[in-house]
Amino acid sequence: MSLETLIPSLILFPWLGSILVWAMHDRNEKRIHMTASVVSIICALVSIQLTFQIGNQKIVYYTFGAALGELSFSADAMGVILVLIANVIGSLAVIFSMDYMQGERNLSRYYAMILLFIGAMSGLVLTANIFIMFFFWEVTALCSYQLISFYNDDPNAVRGGLKALLMTQFGGVGLLFAALMIFNQVHSFDLNVFAEAAVNVDIEQGVLALIGFSLIIAAAAKSSQFPFFTWLPDAMEAPTPVSALIHAATMVNAGIYLLSRFFPAFAAVPAWKETMIWVGLIGILLTSILAITTYDLKRVLAYSTVSQLGYMFVAIGSGSVLAGQFHLLSHAIFKALLFLAAGAVIHACGTRDMRSMGGFFKRTPFVSTSFLIGALALTGIPILNGFWSKELILESVHKESSTLVLILMLISVGLTAIYTLRCFKMVFMGKNDYAHLHPSPPAMKTVLGILSIGALTSWIAISWFSESLKQTLPYHAIESLNVTEMAHHIFSDPITCFALGITTIGFLIAWLLPKKEFPESLLKLSANSFGFDSITSGVVQSIIASAERIRCIQTGILNWNIFGLMVGLLGVLIILFMGR
């Protein structure tokens, strides 16, 4: 297939599938499962086909209308890799759902939203028009919100969904503003036109900085970074396959994608890169501590997602887009694996509270092994994919950033080891109180198996990965690496030994950590995300209070209404006389 048919089919095919699934209502459960899986598997195959087209010419379909630009797409490596992740992990999540969501109501809505999301994600990363990008950006927010609050009867789910929607939309204003400022400067929505103008210093520095920082706001909100990191843990009310797909592997990567894509344009803006490093770093440290103190299995994983995304922020901030993108790939695989394995555990025992879990290793060895593989990749144990990408990031930090940043990063490596082992110990070791566990069905096991293999081997692709990035993104200063070069880079850097040593210390601490509960005050603080939830709710409360206050002007008494009219007249007269 040629590029002209591949790209639209990646967007339109899942969308048509979504309409089809929606139209099926809930009449025949099995048929809905089958249709959704078939559609998503075809998408995955098409996306694999797309990887052979990397670097092909840009294609334009038609003019979308005045003030909207052209519907144009380009298949550069950065986009194609995210398409691959979205579609392949998407299809795995859908297959996993066949067992996980069995017997649920409203399945048509569930699958329709997932398919809509997959199509939108492909569109978001393939387009070369910033308006169309914003369009898909918002569609993914819509799907994410609908899926988080899939269990609409549960008030927590509704609250989580609305929180995610409003916070990412708040960030969306940043992207919107950036897009419009770009339009103001270059009179085009084409990303490449803007990138060229920015590299050639055709844009005023102040405006460029404004655009750059708006984009950081947008990315931080979408990728759930400091100070917006509180929505992702609350999004864990979604069905687990959704958490794996949207809130670990794909949508949250959109922010990273955005910053990587625009990196060359803003690299010279003072304090832009530093801001990114510190946004990432603060997020990493806060959420690593939160992950140690929570008892909810999915929240541990959510916090760890925030902190891993923070690593990517730091990587981009240190100027290494390659390391950031490579960690994005590794993280998508191992975090999807962790979430789905956790989903299998939750499916088996019916709770998310780690305190009432234990001893799964003996009962469900397959699921436990795959979780272990994911956990080891997360902590960065050699030869798993997480090790390579994390070390690449640490190496770039070592080269480019200050010692303080490096020390804090190493501390966070230790914290990662602590929360991962603590979580593993609580869930899989120890004794088991369950009389009956649901066995894990075959579809779940297949998916976990595929992802485990991915986590073990995906790093081998580094030479293809770096080469295609280098070819298609000339401005990003990407060096091409092959496996031996990468190994040489990493093992010749003393930081690697430090990191591994600190990981070991972290494991020891977690192993020796007393099983006692944490003090009440600490738990309270962590439940409140170190006060950031209070800030959010404070903002919400003050908006509600001002809403109540402003409603009082609607007195309902005719005389006051006429008075309002006269106030208006007076105001208009004043403005007119002042502006005369």
Partner 1 sequence: MKPSTILAILLILPIFSSAPVYFFGRIGMLRSKGKPGEIAFFLALASVLITFIFFALAVNEFFKTGPIDIYYGSIKLSFDAISLVMSGTLLLLTFVVILFSPVYLSEELNQEKYYAQVLVLMTSILGLTCATDLFNLYAWYELMAISSYSLVSFYCKTLEPLEAGIKYLVQSAAGSSFIILAIAILFGGTGEVAIPDLQNAVSGNSTAIIASVALFVIGYGIKAALVPMHFWLPDAHCQAPASISALLSGIVIETGLIALLRSLSVFKNTSLPIGTLFLIFGALNMLVGNLSALRQKEIKRMLAFSSITHMGYIVLGVGFALTSATSAQMSDGIFIHIFNHAMMKGLAFLCIGALFYYLKIAHGSREPISVEDLNGISQHYPLFAFCLSVAVLALGGLPLFSGFISKWKIMASGAVASGAWNAILIIFLGLNSVLSLGYYAPLVNRMYRIKGAGADVIAEKQTVSKMIIFPLVILTVGIIFFGLFPMVLDRFSEAAKNAFYTMFY
Partner 2 sequence: MISKIIIFGIVGLMGIGIYCLMITRNLPKVIVALQVLIKGAMIAIIYAGDISGNMDLAQSMALTIIVADTIVAVIGLALAIQAREKTGSSKIQSISNLKK
* Sites of contact with partner 1 (CB under 8 A): 25, 62-68, 105-106, 109, 131, 134-136, 138-139, 141-142, 145-146, 149, 152-153, 158, 161-162, 165-166, 169-170, 172-173, 176-177, 180-181, 183-184, 187, 543-544, 546-548, 550-551, 553-554, 556, 558, 560-562, 564-565, 567-569, 571-573, 575-580
Q: Kindly tell me which of 42 and 142 has the beta carbon lying closer to partner 1.
A: 142
Exposure on the CB side of residue 454, measured as CA atoms within 13 A: 22
Q: Kindly tell me which of 165 and 248 has the beta carbon lying closer to partner 1.
A: 165
271 binds partner 2 (CB under 8 A): no
* Sites for partner 2 among residues 520-559 (CB under 8 A): 551-552, 554-559
Q: Which residues pair with residue 72 across a beta bridge?
A: 60
CA distance 170 to 164: 10
Q: Kindly tell me which of 206 and 556 has the beta carbon lying closer to partner 2.
A: 556
Contacts of residue 541, Cβ cutoff 8 Å, sequence gap at least 6: none
Q: Which residues pair with residue 193 across a beta bridge?
A: none
Task: For the CB of residue 304, give the shortest distance to partner 2 in the complex, in Å.
Answer: 46
Among 512, 566, 576, 578, binds partner 2 (CB under 8 A): 566
3-state secondary structure of 504: helix
Task: For the CB of residue 108, give the shortest distance to partner 1 in the complex, in Å.
Answer: 10
Contacts of residue 4, Cβ cutoff 8 Å, sequence gap at least 6: 59
Task: For the CB of residue 572, give the shortest distance to partner 2 in the complex, in Å.
Answer: 15
Task: For the CB of residue 74, give the shortest distance to partner 2 in the complex, in Å.
Answer: 52
Strands (E), 363-456: none
Q: Kindly tell me which of 516 and 551 has the beta carbon lying closer to partner 2.
A: 551
Q: Kindly tell me which of 62 and 492 has the beta carbon lying closer to partner 1.
A: 62
CA distance 299 to 252: 15
* Sites for partner 2 among residues 303-342 (CB under 8 A): none
Residue appearing with tokens 């809509």: 116
Among 534, 563, 572, 575, binds partner 2 (CB under 8 A): 563
CA distance 454 to 451: 5
Q: Kindly tell me which of 483 and 543 has the beta carbon lying closer to partner 1.
A: 543
578 binds partner 2 (CB under 8 A): no
Q: Kindly tell me which of 61 and 560 has the beta carbon lying closer to partner 2.
A: 560
> With contact defined as beta carbons under 8 Å apart, do 345 and 360 qualify?
yes
**Could you say which of partner 2, partner 1, none residue 577 binds, taking C-beta under 5 to 8 angstroms by partner kind?**
partner 1
Among 545, 562, 573, 575, binds partner 2 (CB under 8 A): 562
DSSP string, 250-299: STTHHHHHHHHHHHHHHTTSTTHHHHHHHHHHHHHHHHHHHHHH--BHHH
| CA pseudo-torsion sign 46, 49, 54, 60 | negative
Q: Kindly tell me which of 235 and 321 has the beta carbon lying closer to partner 1.
A: 235
**Could you say which of partner 1, partner 2, none residue 55 binds, taking C-beta under 5 to 8 angstroms by partner kind?**
none
Closest-CA residue to 298 (of 376, 369, 230, 233): 233
Task: For the CB of residue 373, give the shortest distance to partner 1 in the complex, in Å.
Answer: 37
Token pair in block for residue 159: 């609250």
Task: For the CB of residue 565, give the shortest distance to partner 2 in the complex, in Å.
Answer: 8
Q: Kindly tell me which of 404 and 552 has the beta carbon lying closer to partner 1.
A: 552
* 168-169-174-175 Cα dihedral, nearest 10 degrees: 90
Task: For the CB of residue 110, give the shortest distance to partner 1 in the complex, in Å.
Answer: 11
Task: For the CB of residue 547, give the shortest distance to partner 2 in the complex, in Å.
Answer: 10
Closest-CA residue to 253 (of 146, 328, 339, 340): 328
In terms of C-beta density within 10 A (0-12 exposed, 13-18 middle, 19 or more buried), how is residue 291 classed?
Answer: buried
Token pair in block for residue 100: 């996980």
Task: For the CB of residue 199, give the shortest distance to partner 1 in the complex, in Å.
Answer: 22
Closest-CA residue to 407 (of 481, 499, 519): 499
CA distance 245 to 547: 37
28 binds partner 2 (CB under 8 A): no
**Could you say which of partner 1, partner 2, none residue 131 binds, taking C-beta under 5 to 8 angstroms by partner kind?**
partner 1
CA distance 124 to 79: 8
Task: For the CB of residue 561, give the shortest distance to partner 2 in the complex, in Å.
Answer: 9
CA distance 354 to 295: 5
Q: Kindly tell me which of 200 and 559 has the beta carbon lying closer to partner 2.
A: 559
Task: For the CB of residue 466, give the shortest distance to partner 1 in the complex, in Å.
Answer: 34
**Could you say which of partner 1, partner 2, none residue 543 binds, taking C-beta under 5 to 8 angstroms by partner kind?**
partner 1
Element holding 323 (H helix, E strand): helix 321-349
**Could you say which of partner 1, partner 2, none residue 63 binds, taking C-beta under 5 to 8 angstroms by partner kind?**
partner 1
**Could you say which of partner 2, partner 1, none residue 371 binds, taking C-beta under 5 to 8 angstroms by partner kind?**
none
The residue count for binding partner 2 (CB under 8 A) is 11
Task: For the CB of residue 322, give the shortest distance to partner 2 in the complex, in Å.
Answer: 58
> With contact defined as beta carbons under 8 Å apart, do 459 and 386 qualify?
no
Binding site for partner 2 (CB under 8 A): 551-552, 554-559, 562-563, 566
